[in-house]
Amino acid sequence: MSLKRSARKRPKLTPADRLLWVFLSRVWGHWRSALDIVKPAAAIAWHRKGFRLFWTWKIRHGRVGRPAISCEVRDLIRRMSRENPLWGTPHIHGELLKLGLEISEASAANHSRKPGAPSWTITS
């Protein structure tokens, strides 16, 4: 079997791969001389492996997921929802932003459901 038949098709470049090559070409003037030793597909594979290792490390050593919302803020969201039944999630989120509380609209939606309301209903 020849080498050409066993080789895969041309590697697909992602925007991150293109950014790497743009960065290298601007920082390292003689980067083309390294292509005699290292194939572009190998460099891309190293780049992707580096990202995988970074995210694996970050997940193991950092906090996972969305930051927790304090009990006081959760109680405030529920109280606003209860006392203003016509307010939807966007309105409650806007009021929280006016108070200087930086949380996402999705977090406000998760905590503003009426007691006993199904989780799949859409509030406006």
- 14-60 confidence digits (pLDDT tens): 888 888 878 878 888 777 776 677 777 888 898 899 999 988 888 88
Given this model, what pLDDT does residue 1 score? 44
Q: What is the DSSP string of 87-115?
A: --HHHHHHHHHHTT----HHHHHHH-PPT
Given this model, what pLDDT does residue 35 score? 67
- 95-112 confidence digits (pLDDT tens): 999 999 888 888 888 776
Q: Say how far apart CA 96 and CA 104 lie, in whole Å.
A: 10
Distance (Å) of CA 97 to CA 20, 36, 100: 37, 55, 5
The more confident residue out of 116 and 40 is: 40
Q: Say how far apart CA 14 and CA 53 lie, in whole Å.
A: 18
Contact yes or no for 80/92 (Cβ under 8 A): yes
Sign of CA dihedral 112, 117, 122, 123: negative
